[in-house]
Amino acid sequence: MTKIIFSRSSLVFAAALALGGLAVAPSVALAQSEEASLQRGTVPDVTPQQRYQSAIREAGGGLKVSLEECRAMVTAERRACESQARSRYQADMAAAKAMLRDPSAGPVNVVGGPIRSTETVYEIRK
């Protein structure tokens, strides 16, 4: 029978190594899931359910961007802007639901033009 003796420093090193490996694993998984998401995005929507899911994601994203733009306005204009953004969201959601019921329906609102921004920019006023 062979006895293996570990010193305290080697146990600490082994524990640190194991924890370090656990810390790297989530970031690798996140990168892989982002890559998989990008790959799914290159495949066109074929079924009504896929078109519906894309439409509701777009509606939610549009609401988020619109509300961020509204928050940059003064209070009196902000309320009207937020109300308009929410009514647009409701209209987009209604169109998405109609698209789910009617398989021949296409995208909700194809306007074209460049994307304004996908990141939130905060302005500091003095």
Instruction: Quick: pLDDT tens for 33-84.
Output: 888 777 776 777 778 888 888 889 999 999 999 999 999 888 889 999 999 9
Max distance between CA atoms of the chain, in angstroms, equals 83
The angle subtended at Cα 42 by Cα 37 and Cα 43, nearest 5°, is: 100
Q: Which helix (H) or strand (E) holds 41?
A: helix 8-41
Kindly report the number of other CB atoms within 10 A of residue 51's CB atom: 20
> CA-CA distance, 84 to 1, in Å (whole number)?
79
> pTM for this one?
0.54
